[in-house]
Amino acid sequence: MYALERVIDELSKGEIVFYESPKSELGDLTTSAAFKLAKIEKTSPERIAEKIKREIEKSPWISSIQIVKGYVNVFLKRLLFTKTVLGEALREDYGARDLGKGKTIVIDYSSPNVARPMHVGHLRSTILGGALHRIYSLLGYRVVGINYLGDVGTQFGKLIYAYKKWVNLRALEKEPIKELFRLYVKFHAEAEKRPELEEAAKEEYRRLEEGEEEHVKLWEKFRTLSIEGFKKVYDLFGINFDEISGESFYIEEAKKLAEELLEKEIAKIGEKGEKKNAVIADLEKWGLNHPVLLKSDGTTLYLSRDLAALVDRCKKYRFHKAIYVVGREQALHFKQLFKIAELMGLPCGNLYHLSFGHLRLPEGKMSTRKGRVIFAEEVLERAVNLAREEIKKRWNEDRPEDALKIGVAAVAYAILKSEPEKDIVFKWEKILSFEGETGPYLQYSLTRAKKILEKAGVEPNELSENFTVNSYEWELVKAIARFPLAVLQAAEKMRPHLLAKYAFSLADIFNKFYEKCPVLRSPPEKQVLRLLLVKAFYNTMKKALYLLLIPEPEQM
Ligand code: ARG
């Protein structure tokens, strides 16, 4: 347990739970338990508060206790607490725990579709999932990040047709996904004029399904090129997957599974209309309709393939929890998937759909090309360009590498700071600003701290036994002490925005400290404490930013 939790844990008992005071003037920790207990014991809150006070008075952490109405307000011993927190925060593994020891969490995230650019929905999934991946790893879980590609469907017939006819090999080499997407769009434009193309594409698809070598080779090529293309985005955020799979892996298994579900009477044969002779899951009882698992012609669907993939993950990883980071449009799909898994009695852990809202750009600011989707790469490019302009404006320098890191930070933070279920509207100026709740602001506070440490040049000495801690220093100590708890909360609630909000408050408190407390121009004893604080802040912030996929710029 880390310092803050340890203190809280030592003081709390049963109904009496201490928590951080909302205002420092009211003490560092407080409890309102006396009000509740007074009712039970039919006495006054003040009396109970006195009793609580007597019980905790001897704690070595406490310097004084004040009772205000029924609240028990505790002031901590600043020296002791500061020393303890610094000891923890200066370690390389600050925030780490073995909470997840022996447990596996599977996270299905990003999961874009082959031969199509990632859209902003995939970007949001990539960033949310990537952050959770790191957060759970820090807590000691074995995390398996899975990129489950959309690599099945009749669109591959169209693509093969278009490829044979119109591919521009040079463009394919330079920007494969763009070229594949161009072919796809062109196919549709042409097919509108010449409907017979649809038939030709169906024929190509049939040959692909039958495993004709040329067709399978092309499909593989589309897949490989797409993975390479997606990797460009992943590299920006330092994301690595443990498994790159895809729907295509599960076609055969999905067919078998449908049969199995028929036998177990979880599924039945459709009797009328479109679903006649199809294998359907009867989920009417739970208000989840009759989703099709196998069409009457024997082909599988998104749902049945996902089910087969889940069975596989369950066997392979024996996971404790599986999280699917996918937009809210697919809420029904995941309810159906999880319900069928439950009916099958799959021996695996909890299943969770981390659903999220839309990401939009301000109207008219950016072309969305032919379709209605906004491409992830365009968003990133735009952010990086704007960061580059900002750097030029501020420092009259061109620093493309830092621009990349700042642009990435702006996008990552804008996505992570908002609650997943909320829609996000990107306001470029706002998300790229060096002030306010933004990724660049966090980076800025980090580089400020780094500059101080570099200027100091030497490693700070040990703290002496009788240093003093003023209120700015104290707020910073407490903010640093909150880090492990912020990580824990974000993990337990599966909500990275809790950590993002924490990081912003940490930066804010550091900047107040920085304004009021000179570090290098302070008396020797103060200098030791302040340098250590800056160093602890730097470690903590760097770690928080790492968890939020935000890189550290060279200078800012
Ligand atoms: N490829 C899908 C899409 O772009 C997302 C897949 C999410 N993961 C899953 N296991 N279904 O909409």
Question: What is the model's pLDDT at position 367?
Answer: 46
Cβ atoms of 195 and 137 closer than 8 Å = no
Does the C-beta of 113 come closer than 6 Å to ligand 1?
Answer: yes
Does the C-beta of 88 come closer than 6 Å to ligand 1?
Answer: no
Backbone phi, psi, residue 424, to 5°: -120, 135
Q: Among 223, 300, 301, 326, which residue has the most ligand 1 atoms within 8 Å of its CB, making it the best to mutate?
A: 326
Does the C-beta of 334 come closer than 6 Å to ligand 1?
Answer: no
Question: What is the model's pLDDT at position 457?
Answer: 86
- C-alpha 412/C-alpha 431 separation (Å) is 10
Sign of CA dihedral 205, 210, 214, 216: positive
Crossing angle between the packed helical segments 483-493 and 3-11, to the nearest 10 degrees: 80
- Tell me the two tokens of residue 545: 């930013």
* pTM as predicted: 0.96
Residue 153 DSSP one-character state: S
Q: Which amino acid is at 449?
A: A
Q: Which residues contact 460 (CB under 8 A, 6 or more apart)?
A: 527, 528, 531, 532, 535
For the segment 422-437, what is each residue's pLDDT rounded down to a tens digit? 999 989 999 999 999 9
Question: What is the model's pLDDT at position 374?
Answer: 85
Cβ atoms of 310 and 277 closer than 8 Å = no
Distance 61 CA to ligand 1 centre (A): 51
Does the C-beta of 326 come closer than 6 Å to ligand 1?
Answer: yes
Domain extents in the chain? 3-76, 401-547
- C-alpha 65/C-alpha 77 separation (Å) is 11
- C-alpha 251/C-alpha 305 separation (Å) is 6
Distance 155 CA to ligand 1 centre (A): 16
Does the C-beta of 111 come closer than 6 Å to ligand 1?
Answer: yes
Residue 326 DSSP one-character state: E
Closest atom, ligand 1, to C-alpha of 330 = 12
Does the C-beta of 247 come closer than 6 Å to ligand 1?
Answer: no
Q: Among 107, 116, 330, which residue has the most ligand 1 atoms within 8 Å of its CB, making it the best to mutate?
A: 330
Distance 409 CA to ligand 1 centre (A): 25
Question: What is the model's pLDDT at position 68?
Answer: 95
Distance 184 CA to ligand 1 centre (A): 20
CATH fold for domain 3-76 = Gyrase A; domain 2 (3.30.1360)
Cβ atoms of 140 and 96 closer than 8 Å = yes
Distance 413 CA to ligand 1 centre (A): 23
Question: What is the model's pLDDT at position 365?
Answer: 43
- Tell me the two tokens of residue 70: 């029924």
Smallest CA-to-CA distance from 306 within 295, 293, 325, 319 is with 293
Cβ count within 10 A of residue 298: 11
Long-range Cβ contact pairs of 434-439 (< 8 A, separation 24 or more): 434/390, 434/394, 434/556, 437/413, 437/504, 438/409, 438/410, 438/413, 438/414, 439/406, 439/408, 439/409, 439/410, 439/411, 439/412, 439/413, 439/414, 439/548, 439/550
Q: To the nearest 5 percent, what fractions of the chain are helix, strand and coil?
A: 60, 10, 30
Does the C-beta of 306 come closer than 6 Å to ligand 1?
Answer: yes
- C-alpha 99/C-alpha 140 separation (Å) is 6
Does the C-beta of 151 come closer than 6 Å to ligand 1?
Answer: no
Distance 37 CA to ligand 1 centre (A): 51
Nearest CA to ligand 1 atom 11: 306
Closest atom, ligand 1, to C-alpha of 337 = 11
Point out which residues pair with 59 in neighbouring strands. none
Closest atom, ligand 1, to C-alpha of 327 = 12
Q: How many helices, marked H, and strands, marked E, lie in the chain?
A: 21, 14
- C-alpha 216/C-alpha 225 separation (Å) is 14
Closest atom, ligand 1, to C-alpha of 121 = 4
Smallest CA-to-CA distance from 400 within 411, 384, 415 is with 384
Q: Is 355 helix (H, G, I), strand (E, B) or coil?
A: strand
Q: Is 91 helix (H, G, I), strand (E, B) or coil?
A: coil
Average model confidence (pLDDT) for the chain?
Answer: 95
Distance 324 CA to ligand 1 centre (A): 9
What is the b/e burial string over 532-549, where b = at least 16 CB atoms within 10 angstroms of the residue's CB? bbbbbbbbbbbbbbebbb
Q: Among 108, 111, 147, which residue has the most ligand 1 atoms within 8 Å of its CB, making it the best to mutate?
A: 111
Does the C-beta of 148 come closer than 6 Å to ligand 1?
Answer: yes
Nearest CA to ligand 1 atom 1: 150
Distance 498 CA to ligand 1 centre (A): 25
Closest atom, ligand 1, to C-alpha of 334 = 11
Q: Which amino acid is at 294?
A: L
Question: What is the model's pLDDT at position 372?
Answer: 58
Q: Is 385 helix (H, G, I), strand (E, B) or coil?
A: helix
Does the C-beta of 418 come closer than 6 Å to ligand 1?
Answer: no
Nearest CA to ligand 1 atom 3: 112
Question: What is the model's pLDDT at position 368?
Answer: 44
Point out which residues pair with 351 in neighbouring strands. 322
For the segment 198-251, what is each residue's pLDDT rounded down to a tens digit? 999 999 999 999 999 999 999 999 999 999 999 999 999 999 999 999 999 999
Q: Which amino acid is at 136?
A: Y
- C-alpha 508/C-alpha 514 separation (Å) is 10
What is the b/e burial string over 479-503, where b = at least 16 CB atoms within 10 angstroms of the residue's CB? bbbbbbbbbbebbeebbbbbbbbbb
CATH fold for domain 401-547 = Isoleucyl-tRNA Synthetase; Domain 1 (1.10.730)
**Burial label, 299 (beta-carbon count in 10 A; 0-12, 13-18, 19+):** middle
Q: Among 148, 226, 324, 334, which residue has the most ligand 1 atoms within 8 Å of its CB, making it the best to mutate?
A: 148
Distance 332 CA to ligand 1 centre (A): 13
Nearest CA to ligand 1 atom 4: 112
Q: Is 207 helix (H, G, I), strand (E, B) or coil?
A: helix
Ranges of residues in the chain with a pLDDT under 70 are 363-372
Question: What are the Cα distances from residue 403, in Å, to 45, 181, 546, 556?
Answer: 57, 28, 18, 10
Cβ count within 10 A of residue 316: 12
Question: What are the Cα distances from residue 247, in Å, to 152, 330, 548?
Answer: 6, 16, 29
Closest atom, ligand 1, to C-alpha of 150 = 1
Question: What is the model's pLDDT at position 317?
Answer: 97
Which phi-psi region, left, alpha or beta, contains residue 345 (left: φ > 0; alpha: ψ -120 to 50)? left
Does the C-beta of 118 come closer than 6 Å to ligand 1?
Answer: no
Cβ count within 10 A of residue 51: 15
Closest atom, ligand 1, to C-alpha of 302 = 11
- Tell me the two tokens of residue 65: 């206790």
Cβ count within 10 A of residue 251: 15
Distance 197 CA to ligand 1 centre (A): 28
Crossing angle between the packed helical segments 120-138 and 400-416, to the nearest 10 degrees: 90
Closest atom, ligand 1, to C-alpha of 149 = 1
